[in-house]
Amino acid sequence: MTLVIGILGFVVAFGLAVFVHELGHFLAAKLFRVPVERFVIGFDKEAMPFMPRCIVERRIGETTYGLSLVPLGGYVKMTGVIHPEIEKYLDDKEAAKKTDAEAEAAAAEPAPDGAEDPIKKVSRASLTGQAMIDQGALYTKPFWQKTIIYSAGVFMNLVLACLVLTFHAVKGFYDDAPVPTIVGWQEPGSLLEQQDIREGDLLVAFDGKPVATNEDYYRAWGEIATALPEAKPERAAAMVDVTLTFERDGQRFDRTFAFVWGSEEQPAPERMALVGMIRRPAHVTDVELYAPAWRAGIKRGDQIVEINGEPIGDWARMVHIVRGKLGEELTLTYERAGARQTVELTPVGSASKPASARSGIRGGTVGRIFIRKPLGTALVESPILVYHNTMRYLRALKNIGARLLSGDVQRARRDLGGPVAIAHMAHHQANLGLDDFLKFLVMLNIALAVMNILPYPVLDGGHIVLAAWEAIFRAPMSPRILVPVFNWGLIALLAFVVLVTVSDAFKIFGPG
Q: What does the H/E/C string look like for 247-270? A: EECCEEEEEEEEEEECCCCCCCHH
Stretch 398-408: mean pLDDT, rounded?
Answer: 76
Stretch 64-86: mean pLDDT, rounded?
Answer: 79
Q: How confident is the model at residue 125 (pLDDT cuts 50, 70, 90)?
A: very low
CA dist 314 to 140, 269, 284, Å? 65, 19, 12
Is residue 46 within 8 Å of 77, Cβ to Cβ? yes
In the chain, the amino acid numbered 475 is A
Query: Is 287 in a helix, a strand, or coil?
Result: strand
The count of C-alpha atoms lying within 13 angstroms of the C-alpha of 250, restricted to the half-sphere facing its C-beta, is: 0
- Contacts of residue 246, defined as CB under 8 A and 6 or more positions apart, other chains included, come to 183, 197, 201, 202, 203, 204, 252, 253, 254, 255
Is residue 420 within 8 Å of 507, Cβ to Cβ? no
Q: How many secondary structure helices (H) and strands (E) does the chain include?
A: 17, 16
Residue 279 predicted with pLDDT over 90: no
Q: How confident is the model at residue 131 (pLDDT cuts 50, 70, 90)?
A: very low
pLDDT recorded at residue 263: 46
What is d(CA 433, CA 431) in angstroms, rounded to the nearest whole number?
A: 5
Please classify residue 429 by burial: count the beta carbons closer than 10 Å to its beta carbon, then call 0-12 exposed, 13-18 middle and 19+ buried: buried
Q: pTM for this one? A: 0.76
CATH annotation of 282-366: 2.30.42.10
What is d(CA 210, CA 203) in angstroms, rounded to the nearest whole number?
A: 9
Indicate the fold that domain 191-275 takes in CATH.
Answer: Pdz3 Domain (2.30.42)
Which has more pLDDT, 297 or 234? 297
Task: Give the strand pairing for 361-364 and 202-206.
Answer: unpaired
191-275 with 282-366: one CATH topology?
A: yes
Query: Is 132 in a helix, a strand, or coil?
Result: coil
pLDDT recorded at residue 372: 93
CA dist 139 to 144, 408, 412, Å? 12, 42, 38
Least confident residue range of 17-21, 100-104, 247-251: 100-104
Query: Is 225 in a helix, a strand, or coil?
Result: helix
Q: Where are the domains of the chain?
A: 84-129, 191-275, 282-366
What is d(CA 9, CA 434) in angstroms, rounded to the nearest whole number?
A: 10
372-391 per-position pLDDT tens digit:
999 999 999 999 999 999 99
Q: How confident is the model at residue 6 (pLDDT cuts 50, 70, 90)?
A: confident
Q: How confident is the model at residue 231 (pLDDT cuts 50, 70, 90)?
A: very low
Q: How confident is the model at residue 256 (pLDDT cuts 50, 70, 90)?
A: confident
- The angle at the Cα of 148, spanning 144 to 153, to the nearest 5 degrees, equals 160
172-218 per-position pLDDT tens digit:
988 888 889 999 888 887 778 888 888 899 999 998 899 999 889 88
